[in-house]
Structure 1
């Protein structure tokens, strides 16, 4: 119980990343064709238009790694008070969000890019919190 109370902020942020990235990654896997179709249209006028399937695959893998690391890092903090995997999950989460931000900017979807910034704030804050350990 002490690990939970001493690391409540980190635990809550890990739950946030876990939900965000596992849901997103699973959604992209379950509805690959729908996501690929939408993204192909979204990037039709961008320099990324010919790379959409490959980039979608990279994003899915990165999101799944971020979500799984968040789950394992959460377990590690709660059970052992260790935060190394949680730190890695925060880093991978930030990388995933930066990839998404880059894509939105390339597609000139500035409203979508703003939305990603909202997710980046808690992820980078978790990196900050876990750097001290």
Structure 2
């Protein structure tokens, strides 16, 4: 499910890491990845709010994933020493609320390599 799209996304992430390395702020990686996605012709939306609805009414809490690529894959970026279960939970929340089945958690904070995880949400429920 969206494997080719994920391959292209991760190629762009690896290119960013190869050019600027690790240890910078998440905002820097966000901006660089946006530039790289554009240069590679990968369609994306950055920081687009998604809303949770309950019984036909929007709740006030706002959710803003870092990226959505190919109008289908939700991406959350980090620049931390290690990904945690809280980071995974954040991405799962975005997937459920956006009603998208595929997400990537990408961490630029580890020395030596980009840390990443691909998630598939198979139990989308109506919110």
* Greater per-residue helix proportion: 1
* Greater per-residue strand proportion: 2
Given the two structures, how large is their TM-score scaled by the length of structure 1?
A: 0.30
- With CA pairs under 8 Å and 6+ residues apart, which has the higher RCO, 1 or 2? 1
Given the two structures, how large is their TM-score scaled by the length of structure 2?
A: 0.31
Which of these two proteins has the greater Rg computed from alpha carbons? Answer: 1
